[in-house]
Structure 1
Amino acid sequence: MSATQTFNLPIGGMTCASCAGRVERALRQLPEVSNVSVNLASEQARIDAPADSLLKLLDTIEAAGYEVPSERIELAIQGMTCASCVGRIERALAKHPGVLEVSVNLATEHAQLKVARGTDRNLLLSAVSKAGYSATLLTEQTAELGGAEKNLQRERWLLIIALVLAAPLVLPMLLAPFGVHWMLPAWAQFVIATPVQFILGARFYRAAWKALRAGAGNMDQLVAIGTSAGYGLSVYQWLITPAGQMPHLYFEASVVIIALIMLGKYMESRAKRQTSSAIRALQALRPDQALRLKDGEEQLVALNLLVLGDQVVVKPGERFPVDGKVLEGQSHADEALISGESVPQAKQPGDSITEGAINGEGRLLIETTALGTETVLAKIIRLVEDAQAAKAPIQKLVDKVSQVFVPAVLVIALITLIGWLIAGVGIQVALLNAVAVLVIACPCALGLATPTAIMAGTGVAARHGILIKDAEALEVAHKVNIVAFDKTGTLTSGTPQVAHLQAVDNDTQTLLQLAGSLQRGSEHPLAKAVLDACLQQGIKTQPVTASQALSGRGIAGIIGERSLALGNRRMLDEHDLSPGDLAAKAEAWEAEGRTLSWLIEQKPQPRVLGLFAFGDTLKEGAKEAISRLKALDIDTHLISGDNRGSVDNVANELAINSTHANVLPADKASIINALKKQGVVAMVGDGINDAPALASANVGIAMGGGTDVAMQAAGITLMRGDPRLVAAALDISNRTFNKIRQNLFWAFAYNMVGIPLAAFGYLNPMVAGAAMALSSVSVVANALLLKRWRP
Structure 2
Amino acid sequence: MTTETLTPKNPPIDIGIGGMTCASCVARVEKALKKLPGVQEATVNLATESARVLVAANGPEEARLRRAVRDAGYEPRAADAAIDSAEPSAWEGFLPVGVGIALSLPLVVPMVADLFGKHWMLPALWQFLLATPVQFILGARFYKAGWHAAKALTGNMDLLVAIGTTAGWALSMWLWLTAEAGTMPHLYFEASAVVITLVLLGKWLEARAKRQTTSAIRALHALRPDVAHLMGLDGEVDVPVGEVLVGDKLVVKPGERFPVDGTLLEGRTQVDESMLTGEPLPVDKDKEAKLTGGSINGDGRVVMQVGAVGNETVLSSIIRLVEDAQAAKAPIQRMVDQVSAVFVPVVLLIALVTLLAWWLTGHPFEQAVIIAVAVLVIACPCALGLATPAAIMAGTGVAAQHGILIKDAQALELAHKVDVVAFDKTGTLTVGRPKLTALQPAAGMSEDEALTVAASLQSGSEHPLARAVVARATEKGLRFGAPDSLRAVPGRGTEGEVGAKSYLIGSLRWMEELQVDTRAMNVQAAELQAQGYTVSAMAERTTVGLTLRALMAFGDEPKPGAKEALAALRARGIKTVMISGDNQGAAEAMARRLGLRPEEGEVMAEVLPGDKAAKVIALKEGGHTVAMVGDGVNDAPALAAADVGMAMGNGTDVAMHAAGITLMRGDPQLVAAALDISDRTVAKIRQNLFWAFGYNVAGIPLAALGFLNPVVAGAAMAMSSVSVMSNALLLKRWKPTSGQK
TM-score bin (small chain): 0.7 to 0.9
1:447 to 371, 376, 385: 385
Aligned to 2:595: 655
In the alignment of these two chains, the number of paired residues is 648
Matches within 5 A, 1:263-278: 263-278=201-216
Residues of 1 paired with 2:267 and 2:185: CA distance? 84
Q: State whether residues 433 and 468 of structure 2, in contact with CA within 8 Å, keep that contact through their aligned partners in structure 1.
A: no
Matches within 5 A, 1:737-776: 737-776=682-721
Residues of 1 paired with 2:580 and 2:399: CA distance? 28
**CA drift at 1:654:** 1.8
Q: State whether residues 628 and 727 of structure 1, in contact with CA within 8 Å, keep that contact through their aligned partners in structure 2.
A: yes
Q: State whether residues 406 and 660 of structure 2, in contact with CA within 8 Å, keep that contact through their aligned partners in structure 1.
A: yes
**CA drift at 1:526:** 4.7
2:29 to 80, 85, 89: 89
Residues of 2 paired with 1:432 and 1:654: CA distance? 69
Deviations 1:373-401 (A, max 9, x none): 01111000000000000000010000000
Residues of 1 paired with 2:478 and 2:79: CA distance? 63
User: Is structure 2 residue 631 aligned with structure 1 residue 691?
Assistant: no
Amino acid at match of 2:604: H
Amino acid at match of 2:418: V
Q: State whether residues 315 and 364 of structure 1, in contact with CA within 8 Å, keep that contact through their aligned partners in structure 2.
A: yes
Aligned to 2:62: 121
**CA drift at 1:173:** 1.9
Amino acid at match of 2:186: H
Amino acid at match of 2:77: T
Amino acid at match of 1:680: T
Amino acid at match of 1:129: R
Amino acid at match of 2:685: I
Q: State whether residues 238 and 247 of structure 1, in contact with CA within 8 Å, keep that contact through their aligned partners in structure 2.
A: yes
Residues of 1 paired with 2:338 and 2:580: CA distance? 45
User: Is structure 2 residue 328 aligned with structure 1 residue 384?
Assistant: no
Amino acid at match of 2:38: G
Matches within 5 A, 1:163-312: 163-295=101-233, 297-312=235-250
Amino acid at match of 2:13: I
1:703 to 638, 648, 664: 648
- Between 1:129-138 and 1:340-349, the stretch displaced more is 129-138
Q: State whether residues 83 and 218 of structure 2, in contact with CA within 8 Å, keep that contact through their aligned partners in structure 1.
A: no
Amino acid at match of 1:126: R
Amino acid at match of 2:373: V
Aligned to 2:616: 672
- Between 1:271-280 and 1:611-620, the stretch displaced more is 611-620
Residues of 2 paired with 1:719 and 1:115: CA distance? 31
Amino acid at match of 2:258: F
Amino acid at match of 2:615: I
Secondary structure of 1:391's counterpart equals coil
The 1:143/1:454 distance shift into structure 2, 3 A limit, reads: closer
Secondary structure of 1:291's counterpart equals strand
User: TM-score, normalised on structure 2?
Assistant: 0.83
The 1:595/1:779 distance shift into structure 2, 3 A limit, reads: closer
Q: State whether residues 222 and 439 of structure 1, in contact with CA within 8 Å, keep that contact through their aligned partners in structure 2.
A: yes
Residues of 2 paired with 1:410 and 1:740: CA distance? 27
Deviations 1:595-650 (A, max 9, x none): 699xxxxxxxxxxxxx9975110001100110011111111111122333332122
The 1:587/1:549 distance shift into structure 2, 3 A limit, reads: farther
> Gaps spanning 5+ residues in structure 2: where?
1-8, 440-454, 460-465, 483-504, 506-521, 537-550, 737-741
Aligned to 1:362: 300
The 1:116/1:70 distance shift into structure 2, 3 A limit, reads: farther
Amino acid at match of 1:693: A
2:432 to 482, 494, 502: 494
Secondary structure of 1:365's counterpart equals strand
Q: State whether residues 392 and 450 of structure 1, in contact with CA within 8 Å, keep that contact through their aligned partners in structure 2.
A: yes
User: TM-score, normalised on structure 1?
Assistant: 0.78
Residues of 2 paired with 1:723 and 1:184: CA distance? 69
**CA drift at 1:190:** 0.5
Aligned to 2:519: none
Residues of 1 paired with 2:85 and 2:650: CA distance? 33
**CA drift at 1:444:** 0.6
Secondary structure of 1:636's counterpart equals strand
The 1:110/1:763 distance shift into structure 2, 3 A limit, reads: same
**CA drift at 1:450:** 0.3
Aligned to 2:676: 731
Amino acid at match of 1:669: A
- Between 1:355-364 and 1:492-501, the stretch displaced more is 492-501
User: Is structure 2 residue 533 aligned with structure 1 residue 594?
Assistant: yes
Deviations 1:428-485 (A, max 9, x none): 1111100000000011101000000000000000000000000001111110001110
Amino acid at match of 2:716: A
Q: State whether residues 688 and 724 of structure 2, in contact with CA within 8 Å, keep that contact through their aligned partners in structure 1.
A: yes
Secondary structure of 1:318's counterpart equals coil
Secondary structure of 2:650's counterpart equals coil
**CA drift at 1:422:** 1.6
Aligned to 2:347: 409
Residues of 2 paired with 1:393 and 1:306: CA distance? 42
Residues of 2 paired with 1:272 and 1:531: CA distance? 59
**CA drift at 1:179:** 3.2
The 1:379/1:550 distance shift into structure 2, 3 A limit, reads: closer
The 1:105/1:144 distance shift into structure 2, 3 A limit, reads: closer
Residues of 2 paired with 1:367 and 1:640: CA distance? 38
Q: State whether residues 593 and 644 of structure 1, in contact with CA within 8 Å, keep that contact through their aligned partners in structure 2.
A: no
Q: State whether residues 85 and 219 of structure 2, in contact with CA within 8 Å, keep that contact through their aligned partners in structure 1.
A: no
Residues of 1 paired with 2:312 and 2:609: CA distance? 28
Residues of 1 paired with 2:572 and 2:118: CA distance? 62
Amino acid at match of 2:218: R
Residues of 1 paired with 2:66 and 2:478: CA distance? 72
- Between 1:104-113 and 1:234-243, the stretch displaced more is 234-243
- Between 1:230-239 and 1:172-181, the stretch displaced more is 172-181
Q: State whether residues 334 and 360 of structure 1, in contact with CA within 8 Å, keep that contact through their aligned partners in structure 2.
A: yes
Residues of 2 paired with 1:527 and 1:94: CA distance? 57
Amino acid at match of 2:43: S
Q: State whether residues 83 and 217 of structure 2, in contact with CA within 8 Å, keep that contact through their aligned partners in structure 1.
A: no
**CA drift at 1:73:** 0.6
Deviations 1:191-225 (A, max 9, x none): 01010000000000000001111111111111001
The 1:531/1:273 distance shift into structure 2, 3 A limit, reads: farther
Higher relative contact order (CA 8 A, sep 6+): 2
Q: State whether residues 497 and 617 of structure 1, in contact with CA within 8 Å, keep that contact through their aligned partners in structure 2.
A: no
Secondary structure of 1:155's counterpart equals coil
Aligned to 2:420: 482
Q: State whether residues 534 and 583 of structure 2, in contact with CA within 8 Å, keep that contact through their aligned partners in structure 1.
A: no
Aligned to 1:600: none
Residues of 2 paired with 1:739 and 1:100: CA distance? 30
Secondary structure of 1:490's counterpart equals helix
Secondary structure of 1:135's counterpart equals strand
Q: State whether residues 130 and 214 of structure 1, in contact with CA within 8 Å, keep that contact through their aligned partners in structure 2.
A: no
Aligned to 1:59: none
Residues of 1 paired with 2:665 and 2:37: CA distance? 43
Aligned to 2:336: 398
Amino acid at match of 1:751: N
2:71 to 125, 130, 134: 130
> Gaps spanning 5+ residues in structure 1: where?
1-68, 502-518, 533-540, 553-567, 569-582, 598-610
Residues of 2 paired with 1:736 and 1:655: CA distance? 30
Aligned to 2:254: 316
Residues of 2 paired with 1:596 and 1:671: CA distance? 23
Q: State whether residues 669 and 692 of structure 1, in contact with CA within 8 Å, keep that contact through their aligned partners in structure 2.
A: yes
Deviations 1:707-755 (A, max 9, x none): 1110010000000010000010011011100110000000000000000
